[in-house]
Amino acid sequence: MFTSVDDVSARLAETGYLASPAVATTVFLAARLGKPLLVEGPAGVGKTELAKAVATVAGARLVRLQCYEGVDESRALYEWNHAKQLLRISAGRDETWDEARTDIFSEEFLLTRPLLTAIRGDDPKVLLIDETDKADVEVEGLLLEVLSDFQVTVPELGTITATRRPFVVLTSNASRELSEALRRRCLFLHIGFPDEELERRIVRLKVPGLDEALARSVVRVVGALRAMDLRKVPSVAETVDWAHTLLALGADSLDETVVRATLGVLLKHQDDVLKASAKLDLDAL
């Protein structure tokens, strides 16, 4: 899939995803070792985006399983199409038993869900298991079989094994501790906040109209906010939002008035806003 770590960076960059060396290295290894990739980090640093970018680069289909509380086997793996099965049974009312017993548990009546979809077929696929921490512990058990052997067992059909392994990305915001068994099957990647230079490049890429000097100031202010002890520090997504806002307002440099008026784009709690205002001397007029 990739020839080297630099190749990963370059090709991800073509799709508009600027990867840090840590990200590029881990993606390269995941592809080479054929292991799932567990990505953790705060919200809004591009965990899901990474999976999408890899899919684009590899020309693969993105199969996404969005986890939530109560997601279960029938949502994650497969389901039998009961309506169709009933139709099949009632359609054959005049048949003899030998004719009627044709299997209603065959591929025709199977509804594949993301996990099964991802391991069937020969086309390249990227399986994204998003917000794994939101799912119940039981689902992890399900994932273990899929992630270690890339196979799914359907009792009526037998075991279905992947002929072509998908590239798997699991994301987590660490709102629940994932089990040790799951972690062992994955390569671990933590995406934190990017360093100043990378973030500036990201902002410039996503908000092309912004001039270099302003982008630099934006990133520096965000960096200062992150160094404060806030309830929710701004993430990359918020930096980009802020840059868009400034552009829309036609601000060509930062001053107290502009920052005070737009701080709400970056900070999502009132006490954070107050704290940041105090530290940045926004109240002193």
Minimum distance of another protein from residue 227's CB (angstroms): 7
Q: Which of 74, 188, 249, 261 binds another protein (CB under 8 A)?
A: 188
**Residue closer to another protein (CB basis): 88 or 220:** 220
Residue 21 found at the interface with another protein (CB under 8 A): yes
**Residue closer to another protein (CB basis): 87 or 181:** 181
Q: Which of 231, 249, 278, 283 binds another protein (CB under 8 A)?
A: 231
Residue 269 found at the interface with another protein (CB under 8 A): yes
Q: Which of 176, 201, 206, 268 binds another protein (CB under 8 A)?
A: 176
Which long-range CB contacts under 8 A does 269-275 form with residues at least 24 apart?
Answer: 269/230, 269/231, 269/232, 271/231, 272/230, 272/231, 272/232, 275/228, 275/229, 275/230
Residue 220 found at the interface with another protein (CB under 8 A): yes
Q: Contact positions toward another protein, by CB under 8 A?
A: 5, 21-22, 25-26, 28-30, 32-33, 35, 40, 137, 174-177, 180, 183-184, 187-190, 192, 196, 217, 220-221, 223-224, 227, 229, 231, 253-256, 259, 269, 271-272, 280-281
